[in-house]
Structure 1
């Protein structure tokens, strides 16, 4: 049986979304900055194709956003949702919809508005985020921070994920300081080091810069930062990268510990936890068994586990159900179909069948369809002209793949 990953192999330079943010090759960025050092660059073309003040107003006024897709903060404190949400009225009686008039009041009083999860609610950002996730191999999410002039949203702090900051409109002064806790994990927030963070923030900053539209900052997790809007309304996007860590790798490797009879053994009878000597032999035996477990860990099984975790943390290109149903009903040979972007699938083949394994389902097709599947994954294909299949079979397979959300009509 063959088992292939979800994306064809890509060259080191084939990372257009990452290059747009960094202005450098993926190899150079990985070598000089990834996970270690900040990077400040400028894109002359800006990022208004991704987001703008007009886009923010549309989301606030017309899209009926609800918590937790929105929050507000003032002078370092998060505001109660009741101060900027209310009932949607008849037909939408839920009480936590964004209230544009309340937002206006709080914003005029100096509060920062945070639009969260824009990779799920704003199309251009969703498209770009999928491209960036493909470039990086790590999940990402996007928030917009909209700050009135001369206002500070949050106190100096660090994040437990890497970020790209894209200045969209207005200006904002950023102060960046060296970490007090390098490479923090998700359960190691800055509040665990509040005094050290406050002390470090009083030292001369590593970066002290007024960001203008088009400026991009890469900030590894753990680096301290705070920002103040300088003139007019400031809008910036924060792309948060939920990097898979070596600790995650170790947890995945140890997940099979329950299959090892040596690691299922009870500790010694009469163990006294106040006396380390009473269980020292069990510690030595556990370490030896763990070493043996890690030494024989199948890399293929590890890869599949990590792929499942990555698929759970990301979302593929959305499908349009009504348009897809119409396309299936009216499908002709010349309709172009493309593989659904960022599907995070696994392909399994044997002499009888080819299986497309996704996060939510497994689609099984006869082995004769294997050349068609491989061709569709590589490039768009005509629905009635799939390699290895006659015209009628091509349309049958195409309809099945459309129905299962594997391919989308172009």
Structure 2
């Protein structure tokens, strides 16, 4: 596998590109999908400034003023993670919950060389949340976001691999990344690097596949399984890691098997007890294989796939006061749009979303279909009663024209 270096705009890049092409890579989506995705690291120099997403000031704000609790932060140094109790405490009158971040304790850990890991920024920092949602929509895979803040000449974690793909976005300072090829390509979620600790350590002693210092504005893509370790250089390093929780063929096979088993549960022969005194599968296995194969051929994992996908994320934020005002002030001239990140699908008369499902009469289906384009619509063009129902359900949100 060759490292793909992004040092020129792919002439095939499409106009109107999303955040993948405009912010993270400069080789074009098609080339990325063909040559890079899940196959090789991609280094993109000066992908763009990321200060609009995150900054050192954002770190201080989150730690000192937002009342974050575990597990929204981890602290690590030289491969060891500190216990939560070493950097959390109650927050005083009216906020006595004991696992809130203690900024004084965190300052002391940081001054001693520990890396601070702000986790799930796709839930706690709006610019990162919006960016992650956009990237997830483009990739078709769930995205999470963490920030790593490392003091000069320190590192938080030893050589390891992740069980998800990542985009590393260097925000401030510089960080040296050393990459080695996988010892277990394409690991699944239940195949962490700790299961192959000795192989990882041995591979990390070999010649590096890539040894590079990331500077502000650089982006690095790593497929899951690639070994890596990173160390801050002469200043505090702040970088974002966007973790891509990949759908895999194995995951799809699991869902297909679950659907097949659900079908077999309705088969009286498959519910029949094995012979008395059975001490192994014996001659029963052929019958089971035959009926399982038939069920697999009949099973459709698509509905389960979409249910699982909807359960892996959250819809875009919804303000209850603004929503109530929209309902109370609704008229033909009111403007609405589909709430973001709903994973909405219309199957027959049923609209399934991350906030539940709704059935519609046939007369409403054309209007519901129009709403799925995500564009702004006037309530009078869709039907005020229909719009009110969808506003109350949290499927539509008000917007300005």
Structure 1 contact 177–200 (Cα < 8 Å) conserved: yes
d(CA) in 2 for partners of 1:220, 1:146: 22
- Superposed CA deviations along residues 194-231 of structure 1, whole A, max 9, x for unmatched, are 11000000001111000011111111111111100002
Give the match for residue 9 of structure 2.
none
Match of 1:140 among 140, 143, 151: 143
| Structure 2 counterpart of 1:376, from 371, 376, 386 | 371
Q: Distance in 2 between matches of 1:137 and 1:239?
A: 14
Q: 1:192 Cα shift?
A: 0.8
Mapping of 1:249-398 within 5 angstroms? 249-255=252-258, 256-260=260-264, 261=267, 263-267=270-274, 269-273=276-280, 279=281, 281-298=283-300, 302-349=301-348, 354-387=349-382, 394-398=383-387
Shift in Å at residue 179 of structure 1? 0.6
* TM-score, with structure 1 as normaliser: 0.88
Q: For residues 143-183 of structure 1, give each alpha carbon's deviation from its aligned partner in whole angstroms, at most 9, with x where no partner exists.
A: 00000000110010111111111111100000110111111
In structure 1, the gaps of 5 or more residues are 1-11, 274-278, 388-393
Aligned partners of 1:340 and 1:266: how far apart in 2? 50
Who is 2:127 aligned against? Answer: 124
- More RCO (CA 8 Å, sep 6+): 1
Secondary structure in structure 1 of the residue aligned to 2:170: strand
Judged with a 3 Å threshold, the aligned counterparts in structure 2 of structure 1 residues 287 and 364 are, in CA distance, closer, same or farther, namely closer
TM-score of the superposition, structure 2-length normalised? 0.90
CA change 1:55–1:297 in 2 (3 A) is: same
Deviation string for 1:323-342 (max 9, x for gaps)?
11112212243332111111
Deviation at 1:244, TM superposition (A): 1.3
1:386–1:142 Cα change, 3 Å: same
- Distance, in Å, in 2 between the alignment partners of 1:231 and 1:407 is 49
Is 1:404 the counterpart of 2:393? The answer is: yes
For the residue of structure 1 that corresponds to 2:257, the secondary structure is helix
Structure 1 CA distance for aligned equivalents of residues 329 and 299 of structure 2: 49
2:26 corresponding residue in structure 1: 23
Q: Unaligned regions of 5+ residues in structure 2, if any?
A: 1-12
| 1:272–1:215 CA distance, 2 compared to 1 (3 A) | same
8 Å Cα contact 1:375-1:381 kept in structure 2: no
Give the Å deviation of 1:271. 3.9
2:372 aligns to what SS in structure 1? helix
Counterpart Cα distance in 1 of 2:374 and 2:70: 39
1:82-121 matched pairs, under 5 angstroms: 82-121=85-124
User: What whole-Å deviation, never above 9, does each CA across 1:72-130 have from its counterpart, x for those lacking one?
Assistant: 01111001112211101100110111111111111111000000000011111111111
